[in-house]
Structure 1
Amino acid sequence: MDTRSPIQRLAAAPNAAEAADTAREAVDRVRRHKVLRSQSARVTAESQLRGARASAALGSLSEAGTDWPLEEVRRRTDLGDEDGSGLLRGALRISGELGTLAPVWKRSPIQALSRMHLLAAAGHLDQDRVGRPSGPEAAVTLTTLANELRDPAAAEVPAVVVAAAVHAELLVNEPFGWGDGLLARAASRLILADRGLDPQSLAVVEAGHVDVGVEKYLDAARDYATGTEEGLATWLGLYAEAVELGARESLAVCEAIMRG
């Protein structure tokens, strides 16, 4: 039986070094863009909006996503009760608080995840289910993950590997029972920022996953859940590709801002 933590297992994947290099090079290209000298907050805000829309489109292993056009998301002030509006509303609420969630995540990942679930599920689930793990086993999953993040050994693991591991664990185990995909993607964004890969949260990694393909994304999560070396490598490779594509989208945002 493999007793290594999810982070350490993924760090041992044969493509871990390549994934880390791919992600770092892609994000560094964005971070060098000259528009960030004066417009970094604007690029971050646009990344978070696009990320929320894409995150809602991705859904999770147990719930279908909802794909709203970006300009409609930008324009609408009330999503109403349309199909999938709850998931998109939750994604936008989380996105709007990522800045305040960052220090909470650093101090207590479980508290940050509970807050995210409260934001996502308020008005959608019964009050006694909001912000709480779905049961004792789910609570153990969250505690174990939080302990792994605090393990000094995790500090030596590349940020993209840590983010991919936490993302997959939340996506596969679904500890809150609803909206876990939203939480998984928001948590991975916070990790990329907290661990220095993307401190300004520029890359639209969620959109990168959509570009790769929703079914391919979900299939890769299922591959990860097998625990095999091949399954872990498949997930990590896809995650690194999504970071690369998400960085490319952020570059396009920078260029659009420059053009006015």
Structure 2
Amino acid sequence: MTASSPDPLAHLLALEGVGSAYAAARDGIDVMLRDRGLRRTSPETTAESLLRGAHASAALEGSVSSLTQVREGEGDDVAQDALRLSAALLGLAPQLRHAPLMVFARLHALAAAGSLPDERLGRPRDEEAAARLRGIADLLLGSRETPALVVAAVVHAELAASAPFASHNGIVARAAERLVLVARGLDEKSLVVPEAGHLALRREYESNLRGYRDGGQAGVHAWLLYGAEAFAAGAEASPLRREATD
């Protein structure tokens, strides 16, 4: 994709309500992060955000472990998979800007380690899945003008809907969403917890993902409107909110 190619996601901002919904979600996140600037934050705050995200993502994948159990390292296998992925997530942000296909493969390899044979880790299910992954990578590389929140929502839905890997597609999709926010500079310390936003809105999350997969343009539109709401909920789930009330 050349530098002069049009942004492949720019047209989404013209859908009714999308631009204003994402501007409002971005404003809410910016307020939280600006407040963050008035207090010193630590790596422990980022670690807590990642932990909360891992717990929420695992719960959406069927884990029954509590946040306390996950924090104490006593979560079930699904929670351990999500936690292992979250521990390595931020180190992949620079690579996402240039080699998203390699990042997708690494996300799956981390999440599915121990669940699949080594030769299947990070590998798409078939040629159709490989082509879909290349398409998602092209969207990321080409969407330099579209707001990061919109890009993150689309990458999440594309990965979840296409299920390109043999397992752990939901966990990979939610991790990729968070990683886009970091790599695009919107939330470099990864203090927003989008996974917790989705868990708080679980019924809407699951129904809108189905709509994205099966509902054509109307499904895409509905997912994007939902996504703005979920990002706002993810900002409210940040550990910074708890610190502000301590």
Q: TM-score, normalised by structure 2?
A: 0.90
* Identity level (%): 43
Q: Structure 1 residue 8: deviation in Å? A: 4.6
Distance 1:180 1:158, change over 3 A: same
Deviations 1:84-137 (A, max 9, x none): x33211110110011211112122111111111111111111222111111111
Counterpart of 2:235?
247
Residue 99 of structure 1: aligned partner? 90
Partner Cα separation in structure 2 for residue 38 and residue 218 of structure 1: 36
Compared CA separation, residues 16 and 40, structure 1 to 2 (3 A): farther
2:46 aligned to which of 31, 44, 47: 44
After superposing the two structures, state which structure 1 stretch, 166-175 or 15-24, moved more: 15-24
1:202 aligns with 2:195: no
SS in 2 for 1:39: coil
Counterpart among 176, 182, 188 of residue 171 in structure 2: 182
Q: Distance in 1 between matches of 2:224 and 2:151?
A: 10
Give per-residue Cα distances to partners, 1:3-30, cap 9 Å, x unaligned.
Answer: x997356444322212321221121121
User: Alpha-carbon deviation of 1:35?
Assistant: 6.9
Q: Give unmatched runs, 5+ long, in structure 2.
A: 1-5
Question: Does 1:123 pair with 2:114?
Answer: yes
How far apart are residue 181 of structure 1 and its match?
A: 0.6
Letter in structure 1 aligned against 2:189 = Q
Matches within 5 A, 1:1-260: 7-8=9-10, 10-34=12-36, 37-59=39-61, 65-76=62-73, 78-79=74-75, 85-151=76-142, 154-213=143-202, 215-250=203-238, 251-255=240-244, 259=246
In structure 1, list runs of 5 or more residues that go unmatched. Answer: 60-64, 80-84
Supply the AA of the counterpart residue of 2:188. P
Do the aligned partners of 1:7 and 1:166 also contact (CA within 8 Å) in 2? Answer: no
Q: Is the 8 A contact 2:90 2:179 kept in 1?
A: no
Higher RCO structure (Cα 8 Å, ≥6 apart): 1
Q: Cα gap change, 1:33/1:55 in structure 2, threshold over 3 Å: closer, same or farther? A: same
User: Partners of 2:41 and 2:122 in 1: how far apart?
Assistant: 34
How far does residue 195 in structure 1 lie from its aligned partner after superposition? 1.7
Q: Secondary structure at the match of 2:237?
A: helix
Determine if contact 2:97/2:141 at 8 Å carries over to the other structure: no
1:254 Cα offset (Å): 2.6
Amino acid at match of 1:221: L
Contact 1:57–1:68 (CA under 8 A) maintained in structure 2? yes
1:167 CA displacement: 0.4
Amino acid at match of 1:160: L
Q: What is the distance in 2 between the residues matched to 1:177 and 1:13?
A: 33
Mark the CA change 1:231 to 1:150 in structure 2 (over 3 Å): closer, same or farther: same
Offset from partner CA, 1:174-205 (integer Å, 9 cap, x none): 00121011111111111112222222211111
3-state DSSP of counterpart to 1:33: helix
CA-based RMSD of the aligned residues comes to 2.0
Alpha-carbon shift at residue 253 of structure 1 (Å): 2.9
Q: Distance in 2 between matches of 1:188 and 1:112?
A: 12
**1:230 is paired with a residue of what secondary structure?**
helix
Instruction: Give 3-state SS (helix, strand or coil) of 1:123's partner.
Output: coil
